[in-house]
Amino acid sequence: MEFISYLVNGLGLGSVYAIIALGYTMVYGIAKMLNFAHGDVIMIGAYISFFALMNFGLPIIPATLLAIICCTILGVVIEKLAYKPLRQASSLAVLITAIGVSYFLQNGAQLLWTSATKVYPSAMPSGSLTLGGFSISWLTLITIGVCLLIMAVLTTFINKTKTGRAMRACSEDKGAAILMGINVNFIISVTFAIGSGLAAIASVLLCSTYPSVFPTLGAMPGIKAFTAAVFGGIGSIPGAFLGGLLLGIIEILAKAYISTQLSDAIVFAVLIVVLLIKPTGLLGRKLSEKV
């Protein structure tokens, strides 16, 4: 029974990682860049939903929608201002810019809202569902449910819609996509918009589970989710999903059965082993270098 309870907790944590990892993996798949500011978009989403809940007294769904709208706009603006001018630059320059944006957002948040921790209000249904001998909190169920829903909607979007197909074309071969008349800049903007919108959802779930809001809140989940994306195969959407869930479960089980001190070491050891055996990650595809 205890094991199932740990597993469910792991799934809940993994679902949050998975939603964040989707943002990393989509941007990497299409723009071929690591958006290290992604974690900080989560932080901005957390503050916006915090103020919507606390100061404007909005219920959770409108507060989440507000956070999604703000983060989507923020994501697109960041892309236009900071990344688009560097489209032809070396990938190292873009990476450093992303780190710069990350610092900019963190310090901006510190100036605007001070660095004192705020406690996120509990707006999600409390209590838990009791099944047989053990109980699962509604929050964990909602987190897992939202993650599955996002995954389903995103897969449909990528496979069935015209924009989705254009996104896949861009990730396969940007040059050919341009020749086919696809507006690559628009597609990249859409990718950033979706990734940042997902970050907003992740922020609400993350802060509802771990209720503290501070300017560097996105850094650690961001790094873990990035790890999950690499674990699953960066660029692959099902990979991010699988990687996120596995990372969450391994982390919780390692804590529960091996050692709370070593849990992170174990998570990263598993990552290293996976990458040694399968360098492209669990579901990553091997791409031949184009000449």
Partner 1 sequence: MRNLSFKKAFALTLAAVMAASLAACGSSGSTSSTTAAAQAADSGSSEGSSAAIKIGGSGPLTGGAAVYGTAVKTAAEIAVEEINAKGGQQFELKFEDDAHDPEKAVTAYGILKDWGMQASLATVTSAPGAAAAPMYKDDHIFAITPSGSSLAVIYEDPDNSANPFGNVFQMCFTDPNQGVASADYLAAHPDLGSKIAVIYKNDDNYSSGIFAKFKAEAAVKNLEIVYEGTFDDSNASDFSVQIQKCQAAGADVVYLPIYYEPASLILTKAAAEGYTPTFFGNDGMDGILTLEGFDTSLAEGVYLLTPFSADASDDLTKNFVKKYQEKTGEVPNQFAADAYDCVYAIAQAVDAAGLDASKSPSEFCDALVKQFTSMTFNGLTGQDMTWSETGEVSKAPKAVVIKDGVYVGVED
Chain residues in the site for partner 1 (CB under 8 A): 2, 5-6, 9, 13, 54, 81-82, 85-86, 88-89, 93, 97, 100-101, 103-104, 107-108, 110-111, 114-121, 126, 137, 139, 209-212, 214, 220, 251-252, 255-256, 260-261, 263-264
Q: Smaller CB distance to partner 1: residue 13 or 21?
A: 13
In the complex, minimum distance from the CB of residue 160 to partner 1, in angstroms, rounded to a whole number: 36
Contact 142, 12 (CB under 8 A): no
**φ/ψ bin of 202: left (φ > 0), alpha (ψ from -120 to 50), beta (otherwise):** alpha
Q: Smaller CB distance to partner 1: residue 66 or 105?
A: 105
Q: Smaller CB distance to partner 1: residue 91 or 115?
A: 115
In the complex, minimum distance from the CB of residue 155 to partner 1, in angstroms, rounded to a whole number: 28
DSSP 128: E
In the complex, minimum distance from the CB of residue 102 to partner 1, in angstroms, rounded to a whole number: 10
Q: Smaller CB distance to partner 1: residue 110 or 155?
A: 110
Q: Smaller CB distance to partner 1: residue 154 or 217?
A: 217
In the complex, minimum distance from the CB of residue 230 to partner 1, in angstroms, rounded to a whole number: 17
Q: How many residues does the chain have?
A: 291
In the complex, minimum distance from the CB of residue 158 to partner 1, in angstroms, rounded to a whole number: 30
Q: Smaller CB distance to partner 1: residue 20 or 154?
A: 20
Contact 38, 23 (CB under 8 A): yes
In the complex, minimum distance from the CB of residue 287 to partner 1, in angstroms, rounded to a whole number: 28
